[in-house]
Amino acid sequence: MEQYEQASSYEKFGFVIIRNVLLPEEIRDIRELLLEQLAAYPERERVFTEEVFQCPEIYRLAFREKVVRMLKEVMGPELCYYSNHTVQCNQFGRWHWDSGGDPVQEFHVRPDYRFANCGIYFQENTRKWGGGIHVLPGQHKMPVSTGSFKVDYFFKRLVSRFSSKYSFPTKPVMVDIHPGDMVIFDLRLPHSATWPDDLTGLTQGRNTVLHGIPRDMTKMVLYWFASNSKMVPDFMPTLERRALEEQPGSELHYIAWLKRYFPDDFPSEFAALAKQHSIEIPTLSQKNCQEYDRIFEDKKSPPYY
């Protein structure tokens, strides 16, 4: 897996691995902290951003030197973090790519596309219990260039679906992830959770959650989005579209994301770390954030709130 640990791997394969973002003793402490958070909100499948922002031990991880250095190398020096820091817990998604649910737009096929999902993993990726991801290396790129971004993206969908089902023309790779490692991957890169080999005794619940995973193997991943600042005008309308589609009774993930205004609605230490590392935190105007806060209050309901 050494070829995937170089910055050049991001451009070539669509992902890059950063080893040892955390020390072993840090992993133990953070796992216990996250398990306490989960116990406090048993109806949830993840630790929401509001809770992450109350835990400096967690949000500080995004600002570790080796993390920022690699992200600026692959995204460019004009680095942005988006305020969607969440911890997924025992979620096992099938094959998809994170931009796949959006209507295809011209910026999705541009050579200067620089938008990534960042994941810090707190457990080993194993065949027995999962814990990480499989990817289709290189399939963040368009397989053809016809001059029509819609046609190019159509062929990308076709090739990616064929590869995920038949391992051709690209064979899926199980990413070699150890506790404390980080994977940065292009939002267009097809990936899936690494599923346990044996599902005996496990049951699938809401939002692709598997119940019955042993406590010491609980899958927990801190995720957030990052991009080059040039991507912000392209992405924010997409984010608003996602938010307006959310219904009462759901997690309201995107509405909760958009209601935060920087720096007022962020932990002061988070804002200071962003400034220290010259990282932009894109948000809407204060007035628009307040409107999304109103929408959030109107729509929030059990089982999540």
pLDDT tens, position by position, 248-278: 999 999 999 999 999 999 999 999 999 999 9
Residue whose structure tokens are 């649910």: 101
Mean pLDDT of 143-157: 96
Residue 1, pLDDT > 80, answer no
Q: Residue 97: what pLDDT?
A: 97
262-288 in b/e form (b: 16+ CB < 10 A) is beebbbeebeebbeebebbbbbbeeee
Note the pLDDT of residue 102. 86
pLDDT, mean of residues 4-18: 98
- Say yes or no: domain 2-299 is CATH 2.60.120.620: yes
- Residue range 143-152: mean pLDDT, rounded: 96
pLDDT at 172: 98
The number of C-alpha atoms within 13 Å of 5 and in the hemisphere containing its C-beta is 10
pLDDT in tens, 176-218: 999 999 999 999 999 999 999 999 999 999 889 999 999 999 9
Does 284 have pLDDT greater than 90?
yes
When pLDDT is averaged across residues 10-14 and rounded to a whole number, the result is 98
**What does the block give as tokens for 156?**
């990308």
Q: What is the DSSP letter of 132?
A: S
Bridge partners (DSSP) listed for residue 227 = 80, 115
Question: What CA–CA distance (Å, rounded) separates 126 from 22?
Answer: 19
CB 124 within 8 A of CB 180: no
Average pLDDT over residues 25-40: 94
Mean per-residue pLDDT of the chain: 96
167 membership: H or E segment, kind and range: none
Contact predicate 7/74, CB 8 Å: yes
Q: Report helix, strand or coil for 86.
A: strand
Give 102-114 pLDDT, tens digit per residue. Answer: 889 999 999 999 9
pTM of the predicted structure, to 2 decimals: 0.97
Residue 255, C-beta contacts closer than 8 angstroms, at least 6 positions apart: 243, 246, 292, 295, 296, 299
Q: 148 with 247: CB under 8 angstroms? A: no
User: What integer pLDDT is reported at residue 269 of this predicted model?
Assistant: 99
| 117 strand-pairing partners | 185, 225
Reduced DSSP (H G I as helix, E B as strand, rest coil) percent helix, strand, coil of the chain, to 5: 40, 15, 45
End-to-end CA distance of the chain: 42
Q: Are strands 210-211 and 203-204 parallel, antiparallel or unpaired?
A: antiparallel
Residue 119 or residue 40, greater confidence: 119
From CA 223, how far away is CA 150, in angstroms rounded?
29
Query: Residue range 144-158: average pLDDT?
Result: 96
Q: What is the predicted pLDDT for the residue at 173?
A: 98
pLDDT reported for residue 49: 96
**What pLDDT is attached to residue 100?**
86
Are the C-beta atoms of residues 189 and 22 closer than 8 Å to each other? no
Band of residue 2 on the pLDDT scale cut at 50, 70, 90: confident
In this prediction, residue 207 carries a pLDDT of 85
43: confidence class by pLDDT, cuts 50, 70, 90: confident
- The predicted-structure confidence for 45-85, as pLDDT tens digits, reads as follows 899 999 999 999 999 999 999 999 999 999 999 999 999 99
